[in-house]
Amino acid sequence: MMFVSIGLGAVLATALIVIVSLLTGGSVNPNGAQATNALVGQSVKGFRLAGLNGGSITAPYGHGHPTVLIFFASWCGPCQAEMPQVAAYLKSHNEGSIRVVGIDTNDSRGNGLGFVTRSRVEFPVAFDPTTSIANGIFKLQAIPDTVFVNAQGIVTQVYQGAIPKEQLAKGLAKLHAA
């Protein structure tokens, strides 16, 4: 009888989690894989932001380049673990025509500069202190997030959370194949 009670409790708890997630706008994927983001398949407008190191950065997909956008902030714990690994991976792989742009969002310039220096980031980083790109164009709910955009400006994938090297490699391979 005790096992029946435990089993029934587990089923009810799982059902409650699914219902709450769906009612709050979330999605549930029983395999633990990333759920499809509403941006996938959508065309996104270009942007122009100040570069974290000065100058300005324009969305590469606006000029026909497949693009990986890595949204982060210096104060974000998962970003602190993710960024050095992403920077090291990209440093050791030639991505050809694919452009990688970091977007330091909801952060201060000084903290962002220190963070990218410590993380050994060599790709360009745009500065989005007011989240106008992260929340405005891309409607991101949290960081870190990685957005893959093809050369036509269509979002092909959004990875929510700190992206593992394997997922970054898969996303880059899809952009190469497109």
User: And the tokens for 90?
Assistant: 């990209």
The pTM of this model reads: 0.79
According to DSSP, the β-strands at 125-128 and 99-105 are parallel
Q: Are 111 and 171 in a shared domain? A: yes
For residue 104, the enclosing domain spans 37-177
Q: Are 102 and 132 in a shared domain? A: yes
Q: Are 45 and 109 in a shared domain? A: yes
> Nearest-CA neighbor of 116 among 147, 158, 70, 160?
70
Instruction: Give φ, ψ of 105 to 5 degrees.
Output: -120, 145
Question: Using 50, 70 and 90 to split pLDDT, how confident is the model at 95?
Answer: confident
Q: Are 29 and 41 in a shared domain? A: no
Q: What is the pLDDT of residue 149?
A: 96
Q: What is the pLDDT of residue 2?
A: 45
Report the percent of the chain where pLDDT is more than 90: 72
Question: Using 50, 70 and 90 to split pLDDT, how confident is the model at 108?
Answer: very high
Q: Are 27 and 42 in a shared domain? A: no
> Nearest-CA neighbor of 149 among 6, 39, 22?
39
Q: What is the pLDDT of residue 68?
A: 97
Q: Are 21 and 81 in a shared domain? A: no
Confidence check: pLDDT of 89 > 50 = yes
Confidence check: pLDDT of 4 > 60 = no
Question: Using 50, 70 and 90 to split pLDDT, how confident is the model at 1?
Answer: low
Confidence check: pLDDT of 31 > 80 = no
Q: Are 101 and 132 in a shared domain? A: yes
Confidence check: pLDDT of 29 > 60 = no
Identify the CATH number of the domain in which residue 81 sits.
Answer: 3.40.30.10
Q: Are 74 and 150 in a shared domain? A: yes
Query: What is the number of structural domains in the chain?
Result: 2
Bigger pLDDT: 94 vs 71: 71
